[in-house]
Chains A and B, each alone.
Chain A
Amino acid sequence: MSMLNCTYENTIKALWEDYLKTGTIDQELLKKIVSFEWEKV
């Protein structure tokens, strides 16, 4: 994955595209996405 310095909204997209490519979910990335969501508040 080449998603360094991606903005958040693009990261989810990246997760999606990575899944389409590999058929698997990058669990690390997913965790980060999910945790960031509440940290924002």
Chain B
Amino acid sequence: MELKPFKNFDEEYAYFSKDDFKPDIYYAIFDITLLLLNKGYKIIGKFKNKNDVFLLISRKKFNDEEPSNITIVDKLNSFYILYDMDFYNKNIVLAESYNEVVKKVISGEVDLRLIFKEYYDQLDQETKDSINIVKEMSLDTGHHFLVSKEFYETHQNSIKAFIKALELEEISEENTNKLKIYQKSGNIIRESVIRSMLLESLKDINKVIISADTEKGLFERICQDLVDKSRFKFVWVGKKEGEFIKPMHKCGEDNGYVDNLKISVRKDIPEGRGPAGIAYRENRIVINENTFTSEVMKFWKDELLKRDIYSSLSIPVEKNGRVCAVISVYSNITFSFKKEFMTIFEELKKDLSFALEKIDKDKESIVLRKAADDAKMWLLITSKEGLIEYVNQYVLDLTGYKKEEVIGKSPSIFKSEYQDEKFYEELWDSILSNKPFSAIFVNKTKNGNIIYIDQTIYPVVLNDGTMKFLFVGKDITNEKVLSQELDKYRFYDTLTELPNFLAFKFYVSDIVENKRYKDFALILIDIYNMSFVNSTYGFDVGNEVLKEVANILKQEFQEGFVARIGNDEFGIFVPDIESESILIYKIRSLLDRKIKTTKNEISISYNVSIVLSDVANADFEEVYSNAVVTLNLSKKEGENVIKFYESEVNTRLQEYIISEKLVERAFDEGLFRFYFQPYLGSKDLKIVGFESLVRIVDKDGTVYAPYKFIDYLKNSKYIMHFEEWALKEISDKIRIFKSLNKDISISLNLSAKGILSLPDDSFIEKLASVPVDIQDNLVLEITERNIIKNIEKSKKIFKSIKELNKHIKISIDDFGTGYSSLAYLKHLPIDILKIDISFVRGITTDRHDFSIVKFIIGLSKDFGFKTLAEGVETKEQVDILSSMGVDYFQGFYFAKPMPENEAIKFVLDNMKKSK
């Protein structure tokens, strides 16, 4: 006889779950026993001593380790055993069959397993050898014979006989109740295990959701996960196409089921009344707990049962509030999807919707990101702190940096030296106040090459309030280089490669009008003899000269701006000039040299005009025309003239230049002369001596007074030569005058209108070289002002002079103007006090002057000094001074300063008169 048993427990369970499946009599395992009890069946008995015996087994080598997981088949009694052994808190792995359970243990996939003893008994020896029995457990229950209520009531007697024939053990009411307790406990454990398994699946699915970046990828992976990691037979995802739901993805063993599916979204046809159709239409999860019994599965039941599918689940997936797909999951276990797990399925539904929406959003940002990455534009994003968070490939390609070299750095990594701090300050001011900033940035590549980026920086505030800066720019280096090339032709002189007049005008205008420099000079240089050079040596040489001059000027005025502004004219803008004299010196030293050409060395002559910033207008045209006018004036004065644009302010400077030239020429041509003004004894009007006064006497007879050159001379390099010359000249003159009158003294003026403010050690050395007999007739004049500036030093110097020769006389010039206390005079070895001309002049009209002069004369007598009245011009003054007791007169009343020959004549005449 052939029996046709249920294919497996699930089929059996599914069958018995149907309300209308009611065999009269049945021999049932534990789970089915309980199912039948719920249907009103009655247990008539079980075989004596035939309880369910379970073995807890491990693989052979699994010793005393704490087991972390256990595998069981999905049966209530197994769950009850777990409950009874307190094992339900272990990680529980459900297996399809005992065969699978054994495989998992032997492979080490799980630590422990629970199997029926009967199953173990029929295993082959090899398998048994690889297994270790940890524990044997017996339930006081097992397989039962059950009969339906109706059958029991109508067949009581025959049932009794049947029990007897089989020697069945009757089950008391109490034991039946115990079974129910087993069921309850087992069910609790089962549910919690399945719940946690579903949650575990959900977790896996969430991982997929996070990482999926396309809808297709998401569904494919979810299908795969549900089949691989959960115990589902197959899964498919369908989307609406017309009025049908077409499967788009599937996974698992569907044996052709999915491909032949016909599911509609319409309610009025059977194909539309299945779980997927309802799920789609009504946007709700539809559970098929038992294919046998489920109303919604009617249309597909046969096909599903062929494939042992006893339960299924259809989940609608929403996107932006509308159902866009349905996921259907199939299990060959009845009650895989129970209504109790609905919250988990709802969670899954929500997660899937989120995932789809996220993918759409990501898709947008992925597209943007891709666009940004590949854009042929300069794109860079920084944090609010200005640290780079993103750069696109274009930036990296252009600058030669690697991504890791710029991320986290400031964009100043690209900064060149061409833009000043002010530029960057403006930038930050703008973007920090939320305004975009646009400019051409002169950037630098990793190799130091300059690139020009026409860039705008946008401050961007994100939804969460964070601020970012977006730098968007275009590389305009090529355009810039090209335009610079063009500028070269427009603004450059091709011969000298200097900027031309137009460039000079733009440059200087910008500086002058925007007052970029405080002190500057605008210089125009005209090469005076260019036409001579051209006609004598040829234009090629002339061009060489111009090129060489250009090179020299460019070299020397690197900090300035040199341009060729005309055929033979150069314009120079010099910022931050140190001093006018250095500027003149520089120009002269450049242009006075011979200009080297290939074959010759050519001297050039030139004219120069200079406009200084202190007299310059804030307008280029004005400044330039002043320079041109001044250049023309310079040309009128002849070759090699440097002329400053004059205003009142720089007249002094012009004088300085005149002085300089005068002094230079005086030395070169020996034009220094002493003039002599006599001073006479007040009583006899006999000549006592001369004050020597320096003059420059030009060859044409022009006499230059000291004020024309003395300021320059005192501060120039010529002062040492002058001292030497003066002492020698004085010595010569003393010898001459001494030959006429041995008592005549000559005074050398060391005061402001003389040479030195105070004689110094080097002067005393020079003085020592003067013959002693000449020294005897020497008077050194020093102004009171210079003495009181440094009395101690004066004292020391005067002492040295007197030590050298006590006959050298010391005279204090301009006395009375220093307003000093006369007390200090007492300690100085002074011979003569010269009363200043200003007092002498007022002596007849001003009581105050009268009193001062009288006082000075009186005091001098007390101290033993001689007094000399300067600037005596009238008879009246002579009389008053005589009455006051002054010792000597000097002034126009007696004689003006005169040249040597006249002085000699004056001596001779005086001597005659005195006789």
Residues of A at the B interface (CB closer than 8 Å) are: 1, 3-13, 16, 19-20, 23-25, 28-30, 32-34, 36-41
Contact = CB atoms under 8 A, between A and B. Distances in A.
B27 A3 contact: no
Interface stretch (B2-10, B330-338, B426-434, B781-789): B2-10
A15 B318 CA distance: 56
**Interface-central residue, A3, A5, A11, by most chain B CB under 10 Å:** A11
B2 A5 contact: yes
**Interface-central residue, B4, B29, B98, by most chain A CB under 10 Å:** B4
Interface string B844-857: 00000000000000
Contacts of B9: 40-41
Interface stretch (B18-26, B229-237, B272-280, B890-898): B18-26
Given A4-B1, A5-B2, A40-B9, A13 B165 contact: no
Given A37-B29, A38-B29, A41-B75, A6 B24 contact: no
Given A25-B166, A38-B116, A40-B6, A9 B1 contact: no
Contacts of A23: 165
Given A5-B2, A36-B3, A12 B26 contact: yes
Interface residues of B, number: 33
Nearest to B8: A40
A20 B3 CA distance: 20
B41 to A, nearest CB: 13
Give the dominant DSSP class at A's interface.
Answer: helix
Interface in B67-102: 73, 75, 97-98
B6 A8 contact: yes
B58 to A, nearest CB: 20
Contacts of A19: 161-162, 165
Nearest to A30: B166
A34 B4 contact: no
**What 4 A-B pairs are tightest by C-beta distance, nearest first?**
A8-B5, A9-B23, A36-B5, A7-B4
B71 to A, nearest CB: 13
B166 A4 contact: no
Contacts of A11: 3
Contacts of A10: 23
A23 B440 CA distance: 111
A13 B2 contact: no
B12 interface: yes
A41 B12 CA distance: 10
Nearest to B159: A16
Contacts of B161: 19
B119 A5 contact: no
A20 B75 contact: no
Nearest to A26: B1
B119 A38 contact: yes
A19 B12 CA distance: 25
A16 B25 contact: yes
Interface string B45-79: 00100000000000000000000000001010000
A10 B143 CA distance: 17
29 contacts: A3-B1, A4-B1, A5-B2, A5-B4, A6-B2, A6-B3, A7-B5, A9-B26, A10-B23, A12-B27, A13-B24, A16-B24, A16-B25, A23-B165, A25-B166, A32-B3, A33-B3, A34-B27, A34-B47, A36-B3, A37-B29, A38-B116, A40-B5, A40-B6, A40-B7, A40-B8, A40-B29, A41-B75, A41-B98
**Interface-central residue, A11, A29, A38, by most chain B CB under 10 Å:** A38
Nearest to A14: B1
A37 B25 contact: no
